[in-house]
Amino acid sequence: MNREGFSKSKISQYLVINRRTVNRILSMDEMQFEAFIESLSQRSKELSYYEDWVKSKLEMYQETSAAQMHDWLMEHFPDFPGVTAKTVYNFVMWVRQKHHLPQTRPIREYNAVEELPYGLQAQVDFGQYNMRDGLAKRVKVWFFAMSLSRSRYKFIFFSDIPFTSHTAIETHERAFSFFNGVPDQIVYDQDKLFLTDENRGDLLLTSAFKDYCRERKFHLHFCRKADPESKGKIENVVKYVKQNFLYNRPFSDISLLNTEALAWLLRTANAKPHAGTQKIPFNEWCIEQLSLTPFIAVAIKPPTSLYAVRKDNIISWKGNFYTLPSGTYKGRGTQVSVSQTDGLLSIYSLTGTPICSSVLSTEKGKTIINTDHKRDKSGKIQQLISDISLLFDNPVLSMQYMAQIHKEKPRYIRDQLILLRQTLGVFNKALIDKTLQYCIEMQVFSANDFKSVAESFLKEQSQIEAFKLKPILTNPLSGIMSDVATYQPMKSSIYDYEHLMQGGN
């Protein structure tokens, strides 16, 4: 076979022997080879007893590996000797050669694929590579690659940390900006950044990628598992990046690496004729971009994570506990999504509806309690206003007053109404109506000030009533009041309060 021009790899595959064995045999002369054959014929095999059994199995299942045969032998023969895996491998290979039972491998049929229309498809894949920095220390980098299937116009982007769903989405936007358009379909591996389950064709996408696809509206095509050959164009790009751009390139900074990658794309990857099409990708892209959907940047939502809600309406986030409104917990399995922006922890329902936000704690082990979450919010504000208005003699006027409080203090309206209701339970109706009239006339729209005005009126009323009481004689026998008995103490007037409310000094 060697004289006929067969390669050593082809000979080893055909004869089902190791390539090193082929090298060793071809290095022998005829006398050495005859001595080698004679030594094989005289060598006794420790596993000869199992030859017929192994032969029968190989005849039934010719693709069986030596490792699997070793396991079968130990399973069916409890007294099977404790030989090494290499001994079993050599024995199985000897049985195959003796009885002409080469190991068969399934052969995949390939067909030529016609060139796709311009603008129809792009392919995406990820890669990683170990680089060396200035101190010869190994640095791992990850990269995203996208290639337009027709023009072979390429884009790559590097990161010094593994990609997440959010960063992969951001890199999609960079690629579309680079291409100046969006293709109709994108081909992916079944990557966990995009897909949680193939689900027999009903694809289950990750939450972030699902939202992004809803915005971008391109079609998705996910390859079968362990089938990289179905997106060979981008596989070749990943190999090209590693062997042409990254090979022996020193690493200094991830930003510099991306700058160098962009220059490489413009200088080499997209400027030289493609080995398959013999066309320059840049020239083809000039045609293809006219068929792409015009690129208009979309807003990308900040990354969110799902967190379990405890039965006391609390979530644990980065070493602290944050309270949620009462009723958020709906039973076991209740979850919310969380995002961090500008020092605030924003919490949303799974449908994206805002629930609440809390100020982030810089310490650990703290429980950040929002007192607003402890209140009963089941009743509507308007219903509460309506109920409180019935406690006044003039419900219409009181509703107008409370509506103005709602307008000026919308965030604290429930607190204001509760305090107002408490105040109504302390004072009589006549005093309350007098206070209401005064607050409306003086534009005092606050439950706290309403209470203060009512207390001031009550104090003034008490002083007037005390003045009307019969004075006590200091000397009852004489019937004469002393100067002390007629002494009038100083007192405050409601008009003093009015003067202060108007900004007087």
Q: How far is CA 228 from CA 124, 209, 273, 417, in A?
A: 11, 21, 24, 65
Q: Which of 41-55, 337-351, 383-397, 476-490 has the lowest mean pLDDT?
A: 476-490
Task: Output the pLDDT for position 378.
Answer: 45
pLDDT, mean over the chain: 84
Task: Output the pLDDT for position 295.
Answer: 93
**Over 80: is that where the pLDDT of 225 sits?**
no
Q: Which two tokens stand for residue 4?
A: 């006929």
Distance (Å, rounded) from C-alpha 344 to C-alpha 106? 57
Using CA of residue 108, residue 114, residue 120, residue 123, what is the dihedral sign? Answer: positive
Distance (Å, rounded) from C-alpha 319 to C-alpha 326? 22
Distance (Å, rounded) from C-alpha 279 to C-alpha 289? 16
Task: Output the pLDDT for position 53.
Answer: 93
**Over 60: is that where the pLDDT of 486 sits?**
no
- What sections of 409-446 are H helices per DSSP? 413-424, 429-441
Task: Output the pLDDT for position 493.
Answer: 64
Other Cβ atoms less than 10 A from the Cβ of 232: the count is: 12
- What sections of 289-351 are H helices per DSSP? none
Within the chain, all domains assigned CATH 2.30.30 are found at: 305-374
> For a pLDDT cut of 90, what percent of the chain falls above it?
33
**Over 80: is that where the pLDDT of 425 sits?**
yes
**Confidence band, pLDDT 50/70/90 cuts, at residue 290:** very high
Fold of the CATH domain 121-291: Nucleotidyltransferase; domain 5 (3.30.420)
Q: Are strands 185-188 and 219-222 parallel, antiparallel or unpaired?
A: parallel
Task: Output the pLDDT for position 476.
Answer: 53
Q: Which two tokens stand for residue 229?
A: 């050959």
Average pLDDT of the segment spanning 198-220: 80
User: Which of the listed ranges 197-211, 280-294, 487-501 does the model predict with the highest average pLDDT?
Assistant: 280-294
Task: Output the pLDDT for position 232.
Answer: 81
**Over the stretch 367-395, which tens digit does the pLDDT of each residue have?**
888 766 665 554 578 888 888 888 888 88
Buried b (16+ CB within 10 A) or exposed e, 372-410: ebeeeeeeeeeebbeebbeebeeeeebbebbebbbeeee
Q: Which of 190-194, 312-316, 476-480 has the lowest mean pLDDT?
A: 476-480
Higher model confidence: residue 325 or residue 293? 293
**Over 90: is that where the pLDDT of 408 sits?**
no
Is the domain defined by 305-374 classed in CATH 3.30.70?
A: no
Distance (Å, rounded) from C-alpha 357 to C-alpha 345? 5
Higher model confidence: residue 26 or residue 379? 26
List, in order, residues 6 or more apart from 120 with CB less than 8 Å away.
149, 150, 183, 184, 185, 291
**Confidence band, pLDDT 50/70/90 cuts, at residue 480:** low
Distance (Å, rounded) from C-alpha 337 to C-alpha 448? 37
